[in-house]
């Protein structure tokens, strides 16, 4: 692929619309990463939750619900 075309396809932040597009993309990426991390933590707790006391699991689940 032509390098110039790749550069042109990426917003440069020269206009308000480009900044909004960059901000929107960043927000979406952060949300995707947060959702992925949350799912990973829940999977780990499902797998290894037996190693915690009932009180610890209650506290962990309460904190996860605040998300």
Q: Judge whether 28 lies within some domain.
A: yes
pTM across the whole model: 0.64
Residue 10 in any domain: the answer is no
Look at residue 46 and tell me if it is in a domain: yes
**Position with higher pLDDT, 6 vs 41:** 41
Is 9 contained in some domain?
no
pLDDT at 14 over 90: no
22 lies in some domain: yes
Q: Report the pLDDT value the prediction gives residue 5, as an integer from 0 to 100.
A: 55
- The total domain count for the chain is 1
In a domain, 4, yes or no: no
Give the domain range for residue 31: 15-65
- With 90 as the cut, is the pLDDT of residue 3 above it? no
What does the alpha-carbon distance between residue 58 and residue 32 come to, in Å, rounded to a whole number?
A: 26
Residue 38: inside a domain: yes
* pLDDT, position 34: 94
């Amino acid at each position: 692929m032509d390098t110039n075309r790749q550069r042109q396809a990426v917003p440069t932040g020269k206009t308000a619309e480009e900044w909004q597009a960059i901000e929107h993309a960043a927000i979406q990426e952060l949300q995707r990463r947060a959702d992925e991390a949350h799912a990973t933590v829940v999977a780990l707790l499902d797998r290894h939750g037996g190693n915690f006391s009932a009180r610890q699991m209650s506290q962990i689940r309460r904190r996860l619900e605040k998300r």
